[in-house]
Structure 1
């Protein structure tokens, strides 16, 4: 187990970036064979906007990577956090760390992005996509992503976790982000069964429905337990899903400059 974690701790940058593009490619290919929604759109033009936003995300990751190293050096010397308070097997500490990261850095911050008006304005860029596919997982306004990364570091500090735990979580998070946004159709019974444990493609698609109450549901990224526990879980008929936002003009959902300005557009009446 220790050697397994050391692998993630020493993983080179090129391999981390390679993992992102590998997962994107796999689900991009699967979308061609197992579609959930059959809509006609230029997939490459659509992806261009989302990939430009991915570049911003990766640049922000570099900055936060420097901050992360400083935080982990401090944690190693201070023994701050919950994990140093008790002696448990590494696998249990890893599991608890991933659960706390999933709760704070995914579910909780995502909930706030929907409920706090100024945060929701930033998050509308993600929801303005009217053709949800694997590349939508990369579609975050830079300020939206900074908020998410800040909450991830808060979770790290609370737990006092080693850097290997955090890096393993990041690898898992990439997988689930692209898996849940991919335009793929699992057998309905399989998807529903899996949704009792993890967030599935069908489950997350309800979150991308264009209007309430589905828009404010299914906030989780990895584990579905948080949505079930806090009463935000929804599972219905996927044929009723319509992507996008009822407050946004979707003629510009593939215009990168428009998307970067969208949170600051005073002509949009935000309903939060």
Structure 2
């Protein structure tokens, strides 16, 4: 019940931010690719409401089969300890899977070809959070780590972590960039930049979705915490927004982006490549 309440509040918050973006004109003229709305709608219908929940049930059954003696083994751990451990473990696993996906871009690895859907958008707003290949729900490590935490008896810590990850995705994908002004502030700017070594700001994640000046899709792999990027040398703290959002070159057809490798179709021109400056 608590987990449903957490997710319900985050979903409501995401809808409010999305409506605020739309009403303020931040979505005007950004959906230029053919099939963009169909990609988003089908991902919501098939991914978040069908495949995602089914995968969660399947992963829970896998943990039950692999670790039959460990059900509820950590149930007595206090929340003050369980929560940071679950968060750090989830972020560590996500960091590496996310990094491996991007490192496979040049050789077009299966992991990258599934993850690229999230990066081919030539804009940044809350809808990008929902813009995924349906098979990413199987690959994303959060589904595995959170199911494991729940199986081990850390359900409350897992529920809070899931809600925080979702909420922070809304913050970091939003087109509202409050952090730019803070980063440039004479007094608070240096303190904020220091904090960005630990916490993922909107700027850090926008950089991850861009290319050209202050764009670096090969950096900033964390969701909430940038501490693993800092530790492993992949952190980039930007000065502003990236020159372009999206992927240089050509994107796949929207149906392929929705369900690769099940569907494979021809490419279509990516408008983000126009005017790309050197990095």
Classify the TM-score, shorter chain. 0.7 to 0.9
Residues 1:114 and 2:102 are matched in the alignment: yes
* 1:26 matched residue in structure 2: 16
Comparing both chains, which one has the higher relative contact order based on Cα–Cα distances under 8 Å and sequence gaps of 6 or more?
Answer: 1
CA distance in 2, matches of 1:115, 1:171: 28
* 2:43 is the counterpart of 1:53: yes
The 8 Å contact of residues 72 and 153 in structure 2, kept in 1 or not, is answered as yes
Instruction: Describe the SS at the equivalent of 1:21.
Output: helix
| Residues 78-89 of structure 1 aligned to structure 2 (within 5 Å) | 78-79=69-70, 83=74, 89=78
Instruction: Identify if the C-alpha distance between structure 1 residues 64 and 243 changes in structure 2 by more than 3 Å, giving closer, same or farther.
Output: same
Q: Secondary structure at the match of 1:237?
A: coil
1:81 and 1:224 map into 2 onto residues whose CA distance is: 30
Q: For 1:224 and 1:214, how far apart are their aligned partners in 2?
A: 14
Is the CA contact 2:101–2:112 (under 8 Å) kept in the aligned structure 1?
yes
Of 202-211 and 160-169, deviating more is 160-169
Unmatched segments (≥5 aa) in structure 2? 184-188, 269-279
CA distance in 2, matches of 1:258, 1:95: 38
Distance 2:146 2:100 in 1: 15
Q: Distance in 2 between the 1:231 and 1:114 partners?
A: 15
Residue segments in structure 1 that go unaligned for 5+ positions in a row: 1-5
The Cα RMSD (Å) is: 3.7
- Cα 1:76–1:47 change in 2 (3 A) is same
Distance 1:164 1:240, change over 3 A: closer
TM-score, normalised via structure 2 length: 0.72
- Equivalent pairs counted in the alignment come to 248
Q: Which residue in 1 is equivalent to 2:182?
A: 190
